Structure 1
């Protein structure tokens, strides 16, 4: 039976590239993001294997509904890629904007927790896989980076979740890229990691045999 992957932050960048790569590898893909037009366009490009689900992943009820719709449509949930995230415009602590921190923490931390909490009952049924986007910024200390601090949380949470899921045969992988050429940045970064590079890493982790759990994939630009 065809497996199903649910992706948050699926409308652009890494999420969209992963949706295409997973579909090419034979997976169904449920696409979650707030941008309905972009999701519908991506789902149209992929075809019958894609399901567009406009959703604010910081809203627990919307997440539960999206997961329920995914299972109803495709029969089961085999993997989740918690990819949605954002940075801030005002760097540092002293000159930072607490309102920006609030919104970023809700997306980068709480939405990851909400996604895992809502998805685990379904993933337990399939001995499934939870993948999350971390960052090099969650492995290094960067001067005054609140964004980096949220990714340090993701790094620790992924390891802890991997131990919890291991008890029933599930797996968790954190993907930790350096700079990626995505709309996260105002200017294009063609010499940096491409979204398709990260997508390949996600699919690689998903396709490992049951005897192997890839806990982390760290990707850096080759420049």
Structure 2
């Protein structure tokens, strides 16, 4: 079987996909049937990412060589991959574990099409962020504004948090039968939720790490200069 190239849905890197030696029974839907609209034999195949080693499932076909009996090649031509994005969202250690767990649940709900649940968990995440900063009094509106007043977030992050709040309130109280939350809307809200996590936890931690590394490098250089030569 050939080694197709794609972007891994797990690690998100461009990679070569390695076929699994022993393919499961779902590998081929048909090898000689005439009742399909495909340029060969349709089927499924399992591959692993050459980078992260995670398994992905591809839907595609085996090209037809032609001739009596419709002989098909061993090479598999992928038409689509699953998953297209990680099924489990991971956050760096700078995000408090309990908050990361709630945010991960939001992404997990999104991955299975539970858009309302995803938005509700995003709203919960934003409120948990405020409480983690010691802001425990008042409504969520007040908590988000206080994050900004304490210079813990920039203006655009404050506005992102409010957008999560608005749609989260709709998910909790609005008429979702006649006005459901769409996939695109839910996905946008999760992006804004992640923007809040980045602004409060991730970006400051990266900045602090870079500052510490720079200062350590400067200190090491000064020590090297002050040390007298021997010999």
TM over 0.5, yes or no? no
User: Under a length normalisation based on structure 1, what TM-score does the superposition of the two structures give?
Assistant: 0.24
User: Under a length normalisation based on structure 2, what TM-score does the superposition of the two structures give?
Assistant: 0.24
